[in-house]
Amino acid sequence: MSTDTPALTLTIATPAGVLVDHLGIVSLRAEDGSGSFGIRVGHADFVTLLRASVVRWRTADDIQHFCAVDGGALIVSDNGSRIQIACREAIPGESLERLEADVQATRAAQLEARRRARVDELRLHARAVRQMVRFLRPDASSEGGIPVREETSE
């Protein structure tokens, strides 16, 4: 590719930070609700919502790069010379095989973190219930259970 050819610039950002910042690229492929599409220099400006998928782009040195995105918004602007992607989560990779392994490892870690959070939440809930029982029925803790109050008839 000659140096005279105008290039696209790509930015990929998540709430945690910018993963790709104004990188010069030749083309990009992504996927939205209507299917897969490609973008080259001069593409019409537009906005679309991405599906959870792998975004691919090619740089001027003919190297293909990948990034798994968890949905997000893609904006093409400046008369088709600028592409911006904003998403909740993105995992960059240099090969599809490595990216797949990274995505699986990230998902496994997220599932484990959610599981631990659920366990901690249940423990906290049980502790709060026990504390409320102790507060509401102070004599329950000495007898090892919740006492039954006897009703007297007068």
Q: Give residue-wise pLDDT tens across range 91-128.
A: 998 888 888 888 788 888 878 888 899 988 999 998 98
CB 69 within 8 A of CB 77: no
Whether pLDDT at 130 is above 60: yes
Residues 43 and 78 in one domain: yes
Cα(73)–Cα(85) distance, rounded to whole angstroms? Answer: 6
Query: Is 149 within the bounds of a domain?
Result: no
112: which DSSP letter? H
Domain of residue 73: give its range. 8-94
Residues 89 and 117 in one domain: no
Cα(18)–Cα(22) distance, rounded to whole angstroms? Answer: 10
The 10s digit of each residue's pLDDT in 7-42 is 899 999 999 999 988 888 999 999 999 999 999 998
CB 23 within 8 A of CB 10: yes
Number of domains in the chain: 2
Confidence of residue 46 (pLDDT cuts 50, 70, 90): very high
